[in-house]
């Protein structure tokens, strides 16, 4: 075999290695502290549970003016208030109508899970849930998904983060209501559990083996 053909094989192997070593597109998620709760925005959900008072409990959507409409209490501005402060305020306001009211307040953000999800849709999530929890809410990954790979965060058709690990907390993503966590579809290697490092090692070994065989047979 000519040296020209040998050089061509080595070049093909090098190009393949470079392609395998390339990271996924899009910015990666930077490390950030985990907030206890969201700062509410229009479109978010306030989940209120009043002990033994189901008619006063429910999920209430924050309107464009930053208000929620609550049974018995009417419209309340909730922007700029922490969940524990709102809880105390509601207990105080309900005390005139409910004996010893006990209120639980949770702030939720409605985020879509799309892409290679078994049950894609819009799901309410709190700040302490992980991206993996979001995948579970959507029924898990389909057979077309990249096995256990990172997700993408999209907003208004724009990629915000291209590499969101499943261990990341929703509260770390600086999300807005209606954002989309997208499960990418993977190629054959990704669907079968090949990591970039593992695939790189395999291609490296294969390329070196081919070069060695060519050198032996060309003597």
- Give the model confidence (pLDDT) of 147-185 as tens digits: 788 999 999 999 999 999 999 999 999 899 999 999 999
Count the neighbouring beta carbons within 10 Å of the beta carbon of residue 124: 18
**Percent of the chain clearing pLDDT 70 (strictly above):** 72
CATH number, domain with residue 59: 3.30.1950.10
CATH number, domain with residue 176: 3.10.560.10
The answer to whether residue 28 is domain-embedded is: no
The answer to whether residue 160 is domain-embedded is: yes
Query: What is the token pair recorded at 149?
Result: 């790979």
What is the C-alpha separation between 158 and 203, in angstroms, rounded? 34
Statement to judge: residues 115 and 177 lie in one domain: yes
Statement to judge: residues 67 and 132 lie in one domain: no
The answer to whether residue 9 is domain-embedded is: yes
Domain region containing 116: 110-186
Query: What is the token pair recorded at 143?
Result: 């057979």
The answer to whether residue 26 is domain-embedded is: no
Number of helices and strands in the chain (H, E): 5, 9
Question: Chain-wide mean pLDDT for the chain?
Answer: 84
Q: Is 200 helix (H, G, I), strand (E, B) or coil?
A: helix
Checking if the pLDDT of 202 tops 80, the result is no
Beta strand 180-183 pairing with 103-115: parallel
What is the C-alpha separation between 107 and 130, in angstroms, rounded? 15
The more confident residue out of 121 and 30 is 121
pLDDT band at 23 (very low <50, low <70, confident <90, very high): very low
The answer to whether residue 165 is domain-embedded is: yes
Main-chain phi, psi angles of 173, to 5 degrees = -95, -5
pLDDT reported for residue 191: 46
Statement to judge: residues 174 and 118 lie in one domain: yes
Statement to judge: residues 64 and 96 lie in one domain: yes
pLDDT band at 32 (very low <50, low <70, confident <90, very high): low
The answer to whether residue 67 is domain-embedded is: yes
Count the neighbouring beta carbons within 10 Å of the beta carbon of residue 134: 22
Within 3-118, residue ranges assigned H as helices are: 3-21, 83-94
Domains of the chain: total: 3
The answer to whether residue 174 is domain-embedded is: yes
What is the C-alpha separation between 174 and 127, in angstroms, rounded? 10
The answer to whether residue 56 is domain-embedded is: yes
């Amino acid at each position: 075999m000519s040296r020209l053909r040998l050089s061509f094989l080595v070049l093909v192997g090098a190009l393949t290695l470079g392609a395998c070593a390339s990271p996924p597109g899009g910015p990666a998620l930077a490390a950030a502290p985990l907030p206890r709760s969201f700062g509410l925005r229009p479109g978010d959900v306030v989940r209120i549970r009043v002990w033994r008072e189901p008619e006063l409990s429910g999920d209430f959507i924050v309107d464009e003016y930053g208000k929620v409409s609550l049974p018995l209490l009417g419209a309340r501005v909730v922007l700029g208030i922490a969940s524990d402060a709102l809880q105390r305020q509601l207990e105080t306001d309900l005390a005139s109508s409910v004996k010893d009211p006990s209120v639980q307040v949770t702030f939720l953000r409605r985020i879509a899970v799309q892409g290679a999800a078994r049950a894609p849709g819009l799901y309410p999530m709190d700040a302490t849930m992980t991206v993996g929890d979001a995948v579970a809410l959507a029924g898990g990954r389909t057979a077309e998904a990249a096995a256990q790979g990172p997700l993408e965060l999209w907003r208004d058709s724009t990629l915000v983060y291209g590499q969101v690990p499943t261990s990341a907390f929703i509260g770390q993503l600086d999300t807005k209501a209606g954002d989309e966590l997208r499960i990418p579809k993977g190629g054959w290697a990704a669907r079968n559990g090949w990591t970039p490092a593992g695939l790189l090692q395999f291609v490296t070994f294969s390329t070196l083996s081919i070069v060695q065989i060519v050198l032996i047979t060309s003597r």
